[in-house]
Homo-oligomer: A and B are copies of this chain.
Amino acid sequence: MGRIKTDQHSSRKDIIVEKAANLFKEKGYKAASMRDLAEVVGVEAASLYNHIKSKSELLHVICLAVANRFTNKIDEVEAEDLPAIQKIGKLLRFHIREMLNNYEDVIVSDREWKHLSDPYLSNFRHQRRTYRKRFAGIIEEGIRRKEIKKIDAPTAVLIMLHAVSGIESFHRSRQKISAKELEENMVTILLNGLAK
């Protein structure tokens, strides 16, 4: 009877959530079964329920954690007194680093949040919408101050948020370029464009 190994920083539940994020990322939420998860954790499926309430709780924990990290970051950035373009740079770099370091959670949250059920679904949607509006607000401020081109701010937000999620493909073929280079390339292209 092999127990789930814990350490100082993570409970058994933490470990299950971590493995779940990995599995959900790999196979998708619906396609990943509790029996799959149990096998990865090293335990029978029923045993998982000593630590979690349901499969959907796993998704909800992952999505909430990601949403909170981004909300906290934009709180921090908005409070600073900086040119808009630098605020955007900071947010962009945060997104990129999250995608480099915690990408499993971020990808699951991005791709599987539709499978949340209320009230978590409504909450998530609201948090997401609010975040994008605040991001767009920073861009619009930059346009007013003539630091940024006259473009449609929501479109710019869309581009940046989705561009970053492309880092997933980079993860799979981590060969030529380093994380630092990737970050600089992305920020350059998005802020200054491709053309010379």
> Which residues of A are interface residues toward B (Cβ below 8 A)?
27-28, 30-31, 85, 88, 111, 114-115, 139, 146-149, 151-152, 154-156, 158-167, 169-170, 176-177, 181-182, 185-186, 188-196
Contacts and interface: CB of A to CB of B under 8 A. Distances in A.
B158 A170 contact: yes
B147 A159 contact: no
Contacts of A28: 28, 30, 114-115
A66 B161 CA distance: 24
A46 B13 CA distance: 42
How many chain copies?
Answer: 2
A150 B155 CA distance: 25
Nearest to A167: B158
A191 B185 contact: no
A30 B147 CA distance: 46
A28 B29 CA distance: 10
Contacts of A165: 162
B189 A177 contact: no
A174 to B, nearest CB: 12
B148 A194 contact: yes
